[in-house]
Chain A
Amino acid sequence: MTEHLSDLAELYALGILDEAESRAVQSHARSCAACALRLSDAEQSTTSIAVLQPDFDPPPQLEARLRESLDHSASVSPKFRSTSMRGWPAVALALAAAVALFLIPFSLLMSQNTAMHVALSQDDGAFAQLLDSGFRHADFQPLRRSPIQAKVLYAPHGEWYYVIIMHPQPSTQVAYVHDGKMEMLGTPGMRGHTGTLFMPVHHKMNDLAILQSGAVVADAHLAF
């Protein structure tokens, strides 16, 4: 984001931007003093509403949880601390690891497993797309305390989507959410502990969901 924030400052402070837009606003404000000031003003306006809403006492265990989490992070060596990997290098590393871990060993069994052959063909198409073009990615957000971990890589104009799910169940499905309805897109192909689904659908899908046994367990909002 190179231009000034303008109304985006207030829209961010109202909480109506999506995750990618919010990150862009925060990032821009760190490098632009004028926009940092406008954003701070907008945040104060939101706070002026918040302070006039009903008060609730935080539970005592919240402070204990915070102390425990902060103490834990402080005791972990930075060398081994998990970090959020973003952008092409991280994804490239992840894909390289996926190739090394899954594709090479499984290629030996491909002729004996038709389903795996189909899945690998899909991955082949996905990797070709990844190499040929830029792409975006979004994390699936677990609903409630669902432990599911998943990510979607997708073309900037919605030509294709590649969903990666850790530890999918046999009943796991991916769906497109629009207009309050759900359109089933497919079942991920298994790669040991990982499931993948490549979808060359050629249209923009803003909301995807992961279902297990018919119930939604995670969703992702995609920005175009």
Chain B
Amino acid sequence: MQIDDETSLARAFAARERSAFDEAYRRYGGLLYSTAMNVLHNPDDAQDCVHDVLVRVWRNPNAYVSGRGALRSFLVVCIRNDAVSRRRSANRAAVLAHRLEAQTQIEEFEIEDFVQNAKLHDAIAQLPEEQRKPLLLAYFQSKTHVEIARELDVPLGTTKSRLALALRKLGAALKPDYQA
């Protein structure tokens, strides 16, 4: 079966046509694996993450349904969330194994510490500091909203609002690149 456009692919994937899975992996496999690698920094863990998530999504007929939105973004976020969860577990295990106190004081950091891409760097730099810091901690350090609120000494509700706003702004700023 020939699946030419994203909409047809998404529809065929939702209908659980096996050829759609193969085509989705052909198109998005590199991005999905890179997404996992950029969180986990370990090829074996990244491979396990992508494998487990894709199999889980495919075996659950309710995971991706028609009308749910863009298939590529859906899969990217599924992979990233699973990778973040694995990273947090590993971090927690490391802390526990060494019986170390959790780090409670945040060190000063710059965007360059997390981002190499110039466009992404510039887009993040445009965000106000109160939105930029929690976004960097959430996206690039896999911190939870509770941890971010504590580290930045900001109320939890405010932290959530700022994170949501930061992502919306960043998405709007990067939209032309995303669609390219």
Contacts and interface: CB of A to CB of B under 8 A. Distances in A.
Contacts of B106: none
B114 to A, nearest CB: 10
Interface in A177-191: 177, 179-182
B55 A29 contact: no
A16 B144 contact: yes
Looking at B18, B43, B102, B168, which has the most chain A CB atoms within 10 Å of its CB? B168
Given A12-B77, A56-B37, A182-B96, 14 more contacts: A7-B164, A10-B163, A10-B167, A11-B160, A15-B138, A42-B167, A44-B73, A47-B178, A48-B170, A56-B34, A69-B55, A179-B102, A180-B102, A219-B89
Contacts of B144: 16, 18
A43 B70 contact: yes
Contact of B92 (A57, A62, A215, A219): A219
A50 B35 contact: yes
Main secondary structure of the interface of B (DSSP, over half): helix
Looking at B90, B92, B135, which has the most chain A CB atoms within 10 Å of its CB? B92
Interface string B86-111: 00011011011101111100000000
B155 interface: no
B50 to A, nearest CB: 6
Interface of B: 18, 21, 25, 29-35, 37-38, 43, 46-47, 50-51, 54-55, 58-59, 62-63, 65, 67-70, 72-74, 76-77, 80-81, 84-85, 89-90, 92-93, 95-97, 99-103, 116-117, 119-120, 135, 138-139, 142-145, 148, 160-161, 163-165, 167-168, 170-172, 174-175, 177-178
